[in-house]
Chain A
Amino acid sequence: MGVSVIRIGMEKMGKETRRMLCWLLAICLSAAAGLGILLFYMTNDFQKIIVEHDYGTAGYLVNHSDSNVAAAFTKDKTEPDLEAGRQALKEAGYHENTDPRLVPAVTAYRKRTAVWFGSMIFFIFLAVFLTVGIYIRKQKKMIAKADIMITQFLEGDMSQRTDSEETGGWYSLFHRINELATILSAQAEHEKQTRVFLQDMISDVSHQLKTPLAALKMYDEIMAQEDSDRETIQAFSQKSLREIRRLEDVVYTLLKIARLDAGTVRMEKSEENIEMLLRDVTERFETLAAQEAKEIVLSGRSDASLYCDALWMSEALGNMVKNALEHTPRGGKIVVSWERTALLTNIVVEDNGKGIHQEDIHNIFKRFYRSRFSQDTHGIGLGLPLAKSIVEAHQGTVSVTSRVGQGSRFVLSFFNLTKK
C-alpha cells in the first residue's frame, strides 16, 4: 500500500524530478551503508584500544604482584608489562580479535555509536528530503501559475503576463514567455488592423472602379444608339479608352502594392549605377517637363551604385519625380541627388514647389489619400504609397520634410548591406 502511494506520487512528478529523487535516495542509502562500515572499523579500533589498555594493567599486576590495585591503573606501563599482560590474557581468549559480543564494553560502545550514527543520518536525510520536497512544491506552484496565465492568454485575455522580475533561469524563461505574449498580442492587433485596412481598401477600390465603370457603361449606351453618328461614336470611343486606361492604372497599381505588402514579389536585385538608373527615369518626363518649363537636375557621383531591383526601383523613383513635377508650378526646379555615407545610400528628390501642408505630411503615403488642399484631380493617390512599398521592400526608409510655399524634400535611405 505504501509502495503504491509512492509510485503514484512519483508518476505525478516530471522525469527530471523523479530521476533526481532516485539519485538522492541512492546517495542516502550509500551513505548509510558507508556509515555502517565505518561503525565496524570504529568498533574494531575501540576493541584494540581497550585490549591494549587491559594488557598493560594485567601485565603490571603480573610483574609487580605486591603493588596496590590503584597503581595498576595509574602508573605508566612499560614494554615488559604489555608483553606480560599479553601472555596472560591471550591464553584466556581475551585479545583484539575476540568476538565483540563477549566484551561488554565493546558491545555497549557499538550500540551507542550506532544510535548516534542512526539518528544523525535520519535527521540529515529528513532535512534534505524536506528541503528538496518544499523546493519541488514551490516550483510546481510557480509553473502552475504560469500555466494558468498562458491558458488565460490563449483564451483571449491578451493582457496576461507572468511574474518575472527576479534573476535566475526560471524567471528568465518567464520573461521570455511575457515577450512572446506581447509579440503575439501585437500581431493579433496588427491582424485586426490589417483586416480593417483591407475592408477600407475594398471599399476604396470598389468606389474607384465604380465611377469609370459607370462612365464606360454610359459611353457604350450612347454609342449603341441607332442614331449615333460617326463623330459622336469617335468622341465617345476616345472617352472610353481614357476610362479604360484609368481603370487599368488603378487595378495594376493596386495589385502591385498588394503583392509587395504580402511579400509575394520576387525582386531581382543587382548592383545598379544610380546615375544611369535616374537618367532612365527622368528621360520619361523630359517632354512633359519641357512643356511646363520645369527643370530636372541630377546631382551625385557617377560611380555610385545601389543594390536593388532596377525595374521596381525605377518605378518608385519615377513616382517620386512625377509627384514632384505635379506639385511644382511652371518654371519650377526639381533636384534629384544621391550620396553614399558609411552606413547608408541616400537618394533625395527635392522640389521648390507648393510644399506639403502640415496636416498632410504623415498621410501622403496612405493609399488613395487626397489632400483637401490639393487641386490635382487626375491622380488616384497611389503613386507615393507604391513608391514607399517598393523602398520598404528593399529594407529602406522614406522620409519627407516640407514647407508650405517653399517646397518638399523626399529622402530615400538604403543600408549598405553586403549581399547575401
Chain B
Amino acid sequence: MIISERQVMNMNILDVQNLCKTYGKGEAEVRALDNVSFSVGKGEFIAIVGESGSGKSTLLNVVGALDNPTSGKVLIDGKDIFSMPEKKLTVFRRRNIGFIFQSFNLIPELNVEQNITFPLLLDYQKPDQKYVEELLETLGLKERRKHLPSQLSGGQQQRVAIGRALAARPAIIMADEPTGNLDSRNSQEVITLLKSMSAKYRQTILMITHNENHADATDRVLCMKDGRLKDLGVAVR
C-alpha cells in the first residue's frame, strides 16, 4: 500500500466553525455561544474552562450533537453533523461520540461489564472481548466486573463510565466535569486515567473542568467567557 507523499489535506478530527447559539429574542436574547471556532487534532486531550454561564456546557452539548446550534458548523471526522437527517445523526453519534458525565449515568440493572459494552450492543456489534478485558484491567475493575453500580464507590462508577465511553472507540469523547462528584484522590485518578487513555489509544478527549490543576494535565486549554472562546494554548491561569 502506498500513501502518497503529497497529502492533500490532513483532517482534524473536530472542526468547529463560527458556532452560534442564542436563546430568546431582542432584548431578552442570550448568546450562549458567540462565534466559536476551533479545531482539534486526533489524540489531543483538551480542557474547556470557564465560569458558570460562560457557555462551556452548551458548547459541549452542541459539539456532541445533543443540541442544535443557531448557526455555524461542526465537522467531526470531516462530516457536517448538522446537515445529517436525525436518524443518521443518531447512528453517527452512537458510533463516533462518547460521553462521560459528572453524575456517571450508569444503568443500575446492568453489571460493570454490561454497562461498558452496552453502547456496542446498541449498535448490534459484538464486543471485542480482548479489548474489553484490557479495559477492565486498566481501569482496575477486573474483580468487580459482575458487580452492580450500587455496589461500587463513586470513583469506581466513574471508571466504569470511562470504560463505557472508551469501549466503542469513538472519534471524540466529551467529558462534562467528570470529577465533579469525586473526592480529590479519585479525581486525580480519573484525570490521570483520561490522560493515559488519550495517549495510549490516541483518543481525542474534550473535558469541561473548572479545576485548574486538571486543566494543567491536558495538552491544550480553551477558555470560554460570555459565550466566546479563547484558545489559551497551554496554561490556564
Verify A346–B188 contact, CB threshold 8 A. Answer: yes
Rounded to whole angstroms, the CA-CA distance of A23 and B41 in the bound complex is 50
Contact of A417 with B235 in the complex, beta carbons under 8 Å: no
Interface residues of B in 1-53 (CB under 8 A from A): 1-4, 6-11, 13, 41-43
Q: Contacts A346-B188, A359-B234 hold; do A188 and B91 have CB atoms under 8 A apart?
A: no
Q: Are B6 and A156 within 8 A (Cβ)?
A: yes
CB-defined contacts of B202 to chain A, threshold 8 Å:
183, 186
Q: Is the CB of B140 within 8 A of A342?
A: yes
Q: Are B196 and A185 within 8 A (Cβ)?
A: no
Residues of A392-419 at the interface with B, using a CB-CB cut-off of 8 Å, are 392, 395-397, 399-401, 411, 413, 415-418
Contacts of B139 in A (CB 8 A): 343
Knowing A395-B196, A417-B137 are in contact, say whether A158-B235 is a contact too (CB < 8 A).
Answer: no
Q: Give A372 to B219 CA distance when docked, in angstroms.
A: 21
Q: Measured between alpha carbons, how far is A183 from B233 in the docked complex, in Å?
A: 24
The answer to whether B130 has its CB under 8 Å from any CB of chain A is no
Known: A189-B41, A392-B199. A159 touches B189 (CB 8 A): no
Q: Which residues of B contact A158 (CB under 8 A)?
A: 7-11
Contact in complex: A178, B195 (CB < 8 Å): no
A397 near B199: Cβ-Cβ < 8 Å:
yes
Minimum CB–CB distance for B203 against chain A, Å:
11
Residues A341 and B7 in contact, CB atoms below 8 Å apart = no
CB distance from B192 to the nearest CB of A (A): 4
Query: Among A29-37, A80-88, A164-172, which stretch is in contact with chain B?
Result: A164-172
Tell whether A184 is near chain B: CB-to-CB under 8 Å.
yes
Decide: A400 and B140 in contact? CB cutoff 8 A: no
Asked whether B235 lies within 8 Å of A358 as measured between CB atoms, the reply is: yes
Bound: A381/B147 CA distance, A: 49
Pairwise interchain contact A175-B95, C-beta atoms closer than 8 A: yes
- In chain A, what residue has the closest Cβ to B219? A362
Known: A154-B3, A399-B195. A362 touches B234 (CB 8 A): yes
The answer to whether A267 has its CB under 8 Å from any CB of chain B is no
Residues of A within 8 A of B213 (CB): 401
Question: Chain A residue with minimal CB distance to B196?
Answer: A397
Interface size class of A (residues with CB under 8 A): 35 or more
**Cβ–Cβ contact B138 & A415, under 8 A:** yes
Within 8 A of A (CB), among B35-89: 41-43, 77-79, 84, 87-89
Assess the A155–B216 pair: CB atoms within 8 A: no
Q: Do A165 and B88 have beta carbons less than 8 Å apart?
A: yes
Which residues of chain B are near A178, meaning CB under 8 Å? 77
Once the chains bind, are A154 and B1 in contact (CB under 8 Å)? yes
Q: Which of A179-234 contact B (CB under 8 A)?
A: 179, 182-186, 188-189, 192
Whether B6 contacts A166 by the Cβ 8 Å rule is no
A192: chain B residues at CB < 8 Å are 7, 10
Q: Is the CB of B8 within 8 A of A154?
A: no
Pick the contact of A399: B87, B200, B216 (CB < 8 A).
B216
Query: Are A156 and B192 touching (Cβ within 8 A)?
Result: no
Cβ–Cβ < 8 Å partners of A401 in chain B = 213, 216
User: What's the Cα separation between A167 and B155 when bound, in Å?
Assistant: 34
Known contacts A184-B3, A341-B189, A397-B192; decide if A156 and B171 are in contact (CB<8 Å): no
Whether B91 and A343, one on each chain, are in contact in the complex, defined by CB atoms closer than 8 angstroms, is no
How far, in whole Å, are A395 and B137 apart by their CA atoms in the complex? 14
Residue on B nearest A186 in the bound complex, by CB: B42
With A and B bound together, what is the CA distance between A135 and B57 in angstroms?
45
A64 to B228, CA, bound (A): 110
Check B235 against A157 for contact (C-beta < 8 Å): no
- B3 & A189 in contact (Cβ 8 Å cutoff): no
Q: Mark A339-362, 1 if CB is under 8 A from B, else 0.
A: 001111010000000000011011
A188 in contact with B169 (CB, 8 Å):
no
The reply on A333 being an interface residue by CB < 8 A is no
Which residue of the partner chain, among A171, A184, A343, A411, contacts B140 with CB atoms under 8 Å? A343
Give the contacting residue for A156; candidates B4, B89, B188, B195; CB below 8 A: B4
**Is A182 a contact of B234 with CB atoms below 8 Å?**
no
Q: How far is the CB of B36 from chain A (nearest CB, A)?
A: 22
Closest chain-A Cβ to B179's Cβ sits at a distance in Å of: 14
Q: Distance (Å) between the CB of B6 and the closest chain A CB? A: 6
Distance to closest chain A CB from B88 (angstroms): 4
**Residue A161 CB within 8 A of the other chain:** yes
Q: Is B125 an interface residue when CB atoms closer than 8 A count as contact?
A: yes
Q: How far is the CA of A161 from the CA of B4 in the complex (A)?
A: 17
* Assembly CA distance A418 to B202 (angstroms): 23
Considering the chains assembled together, what is the distance between the CA atoms of A11 and B34 in angstroms?
59
Question: A156 contacts which chain B residues (CB < 8 A)?
Answer: 3-4, 6-8
Give the residues in chain A near B196, CB-CB below 8 Å. Answer: 395-397, 413, 415
CA distance A218 to B229 in the complex (A): 55
Residues of A within 8 A of B77 (CB): 161, 178, 182
Least CB separation from B202: chain A residue: A186
CB-CB under 8 A from B88, the residues of chain A are 165-166
Flag if B123 contacts A159 (CB, 8 Å). no
Determine if B159 is an interface residue (Cβ-Cβ < 8 Å): yes
19 contacts between A and B (CB under 8 A): A158-B8, A158-B11, A159-B9, A161-B77, A168-B124, A182-B11, A182-B13, A185-B11, A189-B42, A342-B155, A344-B192, A358-B235, A358-B237, A362-B219, A362-B234, A392-B199, A395-B200, A399-B195, A399-B217
